[in-house]
Amino acid sequence: MLAVIGGSGLSQLAELEVRQRKVARTPFGEPSGPLTLGTIGGRALVFLARHGYGHTIAPHQVNYRANLWALKELGVERVVSVASVGGIRADLKPGMLLVPDQILDYTWGRAATFFEGAEAQVTHVDFTEPYAALERGRILAAASACGEAIVDGGVYATTQGPRLETAAEITRLERDGADVVGMTGMPEAALARELDLSYAAIAVVANQAAGRG
């Protein structure tokens, strides 16, 4: 089953035929909101608003572990994450879509693993390729099929937030190889990998990054 995690500006899916809203409980607390179960085109889908349905949860306060654990417990195997980002690369203008293939993590203090605690075994997951190639391919194919322009590949830099970045910070991110910048890419992607979820992201360029517009 597929899940879509909606970011800023995406608190519902217009074409989703809703069948149930489920309040989930996890060992890591409560998710950002109820899980919305339904169908699109006859296919089962789960939707979760990352920032809550009233957009009340800041990026650094999102319970990423609870969100992904709840989806996994429901039987979700595939996750498409949608996030608003700022464009760092000159050709990435507002309104463009990008499917990143790499990520940089500048966050701190976020609960970033399921493998912790007195009884948990230390586990090092392979994160060489942070996004599932198969899931990325499905997104690109779907965009092509409906005539939607989308950029294949790019580096997503995740900052702590909730404030926006300074122009100097964006210059640093550019030197580090980042193409876009957002606040929710991590630890979400790494936690999905720990749960063996097929995870990919759609980055929606909402604006040009600080000092770039």
Q: What is the mean pLDDT of the chain?
A: 94
Q: What is residue 11's predicted lDDT score, i.e. its pLDDT? A: 63
Query: Over the stretch 122-168, which tens digit does the pLDDT of each residue have?
Result: 889 999 999 999 999 999 999 999 999 999 999 999 999 999 999 99
Q: Which residues pair with 151 in a beta bridge?
A: 98
Q: Could you give the residue ranges of the DSSP H alpha helices within 74-208? A: 133-145, 167-176, 188-194
Q: Of how many residues is the chain composed?
A: 213
Residue range 3-15: mean pLDDT, rounded: 79
pLDDT level of residue 15 (50, 70, 90 thresholds): confident
Structure tokens that stand for 115 in this block:
């493998």
The DSSP call for residue 129 is S
pLDDT level of residue 206 (50, 70, 90 thresholds): very high
Q: Could you give the residue ranges of the DSSP H alpha helices within the chain? A: 64-73, 133-145, 167-176, 188-194
User: Which of 48-57, 89-98, 170-179 is least confident?
Assistant: 48-57
Question: Which of 180 and 212 is assigned the larger pLDDT?
Answer: 180
Phi, psi of 14 (to 5 degrees): -60, -35
Q: What is residue 16's predicted lDDT score, i.e. its pLDDT? A: 79
For the chain, count helices (H), then strands (E): 4, 11
For the chain, the domains span 2-208
Q: What is residue 10's predicted lDDT score, i.e. its pLDDT? A: 73
Query: Which residue from 187, 154, 157 is spatially nearest to 172, judged by alpha carbons?
Result: 157
Q: Please compute, for residue 7, the number of CA atoms within 13 A of its CA located in the half-sphere on the CB side.
A: 18
Q: Residue 130 is which amino acid?
A: P
Q: Could you give the residue ranges of the DSSP H alpha helices within 16-106? A: 64-73
* CATH class of the domain at 2-208: alpha beta
Query: Over the stretch 23-37, which tens digit does the pLDDT of each residue have?
Result: 999 999 999 999 999
How far apart, in Å, are the Cα atoms of 36 and each of 15, 67, 138, 144, 191? 13, 12, 22, 27, 21
Q: Which residue has the tokens 């599932």?
A: 132
Res. 186: pLDDT tops 80? yes
d(C-alpha 115, C-alpha 150), whole Å: 35
How far apart, in Å, are the Cα atoms of 166 and each of 50, 120, 176? 25, 39, 15
Q: Which residue has the tokens 């939707």?
A: 47
Cis peptide before 187 (omega within 30 of 0): yes
